[in-house]
Amino acid sequence: MTVSGGTAKAQDVAAGETSFKKCAPCHAIGEGAKNKVGPELNGLNGRKSGAAEGYSYSDANKKSGITWDEATFKEYIKDPRAKIPGTKMAFAGIKNEKETADLWAYLAQFGADGKKK
């Protein structure tokens, strides 16, 4: 087996899965994920903010106009209340850039159906 950029990405995804443990008390992802205190995160890449079916979002989140992508997520996760003032998300944020990149790599692999792409 040749070590390639794909291998490094796999390591990032694994690190992101570990980082997701900070999110798991409030969010679910993967097949069968359901809304918890926060919305399920399947299909986050390209999803409009406030669009998870069956979740009761704050008006601030619904009206934010955000469509999630890597850059937006990284900005948001550093300080959710600064990015969307009035959000219900009570989370101090993740400031470490490598950790936010790894977390995004983990989240982005799940399609809207909860299956890994």
pLDDT along the chain (117 residues), means of 10: 46 93 97 97 97 96 96 97 94 95 96 95
This prediction's pTM: 0.88
Which pLDDT value is given to residue 108? 96
CATH assignment of 5-108? 1.10.760.10
Residues contacting residue 11 through CB under 8 Å, at least 6 positions apart:
none
Q: Rounded distance, CA 18 to CA 99, Å?
A: 10
HSE-CB at 107 with a 13 A cutoff on CA atoms is: 27
Q: Up-side HSE of residue 105: CA atoms within 13 Å toward CB? A: 20
